[in-house]
Amino acid sequence: LLKRGSKGVYVLSKEYTGEIPAYLVENVIDTTGAGDAFASGFITGILRGYTLRKAVQYGNAVAALKIKKLGSHQVPPHDEVVEFIWEREQG
């Protein structure tokens, strides 16, 4: 995985190779901890049994929600992340 900030993540693996875009976020408040938020979201996705691609999307969503809040420890709960992803997939 190569984290590319607002450009998303480049993935190179046997399962999937390619770009997974970041989620567009309006009203960015604080990007401190966004990389850590992505990493924790990605690991959470893997532990939940998500595919590699879905785990990266989950990590991207966690980071996107984190940067809308002040502080490096503002990681959203699972339900909020799932709703965020679902809303964008319906869009």
The catalytic residues are 36
36 to each of 5, 15, 44, 80, 86, how far by Cα in Å? Answer: 12, 23, 12, 18, 22
First-to-last CA distance in the chain? 26
The DSSP output letter for 2 is E
